[in-house]
Structure formats: C-alpha cells, structure tokens
Amino acid sequence: MTFRRIGIAGKPHKEDVKRTALTLTEWLRTRKIEVVLEDHLGDSLPTRLPQRDDLPRHADMIIVLGGDGTLLSVARAVGNDAVPILGINMGGLGFLTDITLSEMYPLLEEILRGNYTIRRRMLLKTTITRKSGTQKTFQALNDVVINKGALARIIDIKAAISGEYLTTYRSDGLIVATPVGSTGYSLSAGGPIVCPGVNGIIITPICPHTLTNRPILIKEDDTVTLTLLSKEDEVIVTVDGQVGHPIGYEDTVEISKSDNAIAMIVPPGKNYYEILRTKLKWGER
C-alpha cells in the first residue's frame, strides 16, 4: 500500500506536539506527500482543518503524536474505517505509541518505501442495556471497565459467558480487556500479559472480595454478559478509560469481539518482546 495522503493527530494543548506536527508536515511535503492536520495542530494555518472524528475520511494513514491515550482516542475516531495508524510516543509509558521521536524519521523513510507490516488488532463491541430498554453501543481497543464510584461499597456483578453462568463477582469492579489492553489497567489489577496476536478476551476482577476469583482468558468468539446486581448510585462503565456511561441495578453490559479491527503499522525492527523488556524494565536491577 502506498500512502499519498497522511493525517496527523496529536495530544491537545501540548506545544511540543504542535511543533513536531508542523515540522513533520514539512518533511512529508518535501517527499510529495499530502498532509492533513487535525484542527488544533494547525490552528494558526489559514486553511480549514478537520476535527479528529473526521480525520479518517481525509487520509489513507494517520500518524499519532502523543501517548497511548491519544492513540486510543484516534482508534475510536477511525471506527469502521480501515485507515492504518502509526503511533509516535510523546506521552508516558507508550505500549501502543512505541516509536520514539529519534526513531520517527528513519522509520518513516522505510514505511514510505513500503517496508512495513500491518497488524490488525481486535476491538471489543460493548452494548449497555438499561432496564428501560434503552441501549448504547461502544467500541474499545483496550478495555471496558465497570467501576464503583468513590463512595460506593463493594458491587455485585453477575457474569455469564456465551449464556453459561460463570460467577457473581463481589469486588470494586471488573475489567474486560483485549490482548492490546492486557498491559494496561488489567495488568495493574493482576491480569496476565497476552500477546496482541492472541485474540482472546481477558476478565480481571478489581480487588475481589473472594481471593480465589482470579483473572480468566476466554475465547475470542465468546460473549461476556455482565449484570449489575447492586443498588448503588454510582457505578460507571468506562470504555478505554475515556468514555463513561452510568449503569444501575439489573442493567446489562454485553461485550464481544467486534466485526471491526484497528490496523496498526509496524515498521521494520520493532519487536513486541523487546517493547515489553524496555517498557517494563525486565532484567534490570
């Protein structure tokens, strides 16, 4: 695939991100690549620029400047489009945005020459159904979390897998994660690291009341149905740590593998196990 029009998205309110975006724009244009900046990165330019949700319609590749949170936001904007994403780390830890600024231009040279791989990463389709019958549907690249509010007590969540009763969790909450999201909140709560190429679904309880309630990895084609059995006032479903939706007693959250996937560009020389060693500082003393 040849990239002729590249979109650039970035973490807002960061001057270093804006400067990098404008420098990168000039670098790409000297190579005859049309560049589309999202609106806040080029707000000093005279041309009208698209907002993040519209950016995928204007580009055949998107470069993300920021951290994993920025990339997750862009992934939601891509949605059903098959626009591939390349993440450049200008944020924190950066498992998804794993390319450093010093690596960016040499690796982009390789990508523009066609030396890259596209890996498709599974998304979770999440449908929240209220007792009233109203529904909301979201897509998640990392995880879906049911959390109690700051003042809520332990909550009870009934869990079923493809119609078969699993257990009723008594805990501070529950995380349902993709393999991509296994190195995020799920890992902090004691969940396993799962290689992104393994398409399973991880269920990780948060501070379970019963210590034998351990994380479980289920098949990618299973459906997780969660029913809130507590009558607490403050229980929230959070998608990728960025979109929140309140739920109440006997509301259900159904989570399954989405028909859509996110295309991630992997440049040459990037190795998942090397990223794990580097980011998690394995082997260091």
- Let me know if 142 is exposed, middle or buried by CB neighbors in 10 A (0-12, 13-18, 19+): buried
Q: On the CB side of 105, how many CA atoms lie within 13 Å of its CA? A: 11
Identify the DSSP state of 190.
Answer: T
CA distance 195 to 181: 10
Residue 156 among the catalytic residues: no
CA distance 272 to 220: 21
- The torsion of the CA quartet 254, 245, 179, 280, rounded to 10 degrees, works out to -150
Q: On the CB side of 127, how many CA atoms lie within 13 Å of its CA? A: 11
Whether the Cβ atoms of residue 172 and residue 155 lie closer than 8 Å to each other: yes
Closest Cα partner for 94 from 82, 104, 84? 104
CA distance 202 to 88: 27
43, 68, 156, 251: the catalytic one is 68
Whether the Cβ atoms of residue 255 and residue 226 lie closer than 8 Å to each other: yes
- Residues with catalytic roles: 68
